[in-house]
Amino acid sequence: MASLPSPAKTSRKLFTCALLALLTTFGVVMTYPTADDLGLDLPMAVQSVPESSMVMRVGTVANIVEADDITVRISGSPALVRASYLFPLYQPVLGDRVVVQRQDSQWFVLGTMSGPINSALPNPTFEEGTAGSTPSGWSIVPVSAATGPITFTKVTTSLTGSAYQEAISGSYVGSLLYTNNGSSGVSISDVFSSSTPTAEGEAWTFACWIAGGIIANNASAKIEFYVQWLDTGGALLSETNVITAPFISQVIAPAFLRMKTADALAVQAPANAASVRIRINALFSMSPGSAGLGSSVDLDYMIVRRVG
């Protein structure tokens, strides 16, 4: 006659069945044996773990193919990788410091890193100087004030009527303000940055933000940005128009302006160049019937960057 299982064995079986039911019901994932459980040497166990397919690195933008990909030079390494990016949300500029991530064989730019502005210009965000005056390190020269003066002043972030200035970095912007004298026609002024040293053959790029502004009815504005090359005595050797921004009826801001692949990603210093600076040509036009009104275009985050 077969003997009945002991109460202890029966209890263990019931516990085991209950535990398996609990794991099944709540989806608890069972763990695998560890290296110690298997009696393996730890170094051998570590070597057997496959490398993660996801890698993250920091690098610098070295080349751009618009709406296609970016070449990134990995920091601390001569390695170059081609990475996709969020087009058109991210607008790359040569020299941007970016975070890139690799999933399997595909690299992707997550975005630019925060920190101090990477610009060779003195006072690139107009934080220095006295509010209401021309920003430190900048100057303005009237070309024609036939219909009223144009000023370039440091102003704080504010909302005045429908004119809104919102600083991209810091608390101030550089405001090109046109005050019409009651007549129709055109007024023009040039704004100059301070110069920074360069040498023949060096490559430079430019970008900036339109931070705000307002255009009067039946009025318009055109802001042109030039990279200028000066010799050791400060005389102008040559200049290149790198960006032209027309504004008709309104200023759409914030807007990022940069050199693009279709034109040139950078410009090269000519022979005998000793310094580089930016010239901003501001033209405001007033049509008949709207004389007496004013307009403004506000700038911030001026990037002048050596990239080669």
Residue 269, pLDDT > 80, answer: yes
The overall average pLDDT reported for the chain is: 83
- Pairing type for strands 219-230 and 236-248 reads antiparallel
CA distance 194 to 172: 18
What percentage of the chain reaches a pLDDT higher than 90?
60
Residue 32, pLDDT > 80, answer: no
pTM over 0.75: yes
For residue 296, what are its two tokens?
């403004």
Low-confidence winner among 22-26, 117-121, 193-197, 292-296 (lowest mean pLDDT): 22-26
C-alpha dist (Å) from residue 269 to 198, 229, 235, 278: 7, 7, 14, 13
Mean pLDDT for 34-51 is 42
- Pairing type for strands 163-165 and 196-197 reads unpaired
Residue 227, pLDDT > 90, answer: yes
Query: pLDDT value at position 251?
Result: 86
* Strand segments (E) across the chain: 54-65, 69-74, 80-84, 97-103, 106-112, 138-144, 150-156, 158-160, 163-165, 172-179, 185-193, 196-197, 203-214, 219-230, 236-248, 255-258, 267-268, 275-286, 294-306
Which residue do the tokens 């990022």 mark? 256
pLDDT in tens, 46-76: 444 455 678 999 999 999 998 889 999 999 9
Residue 23, pLDDT > 50, answer: no
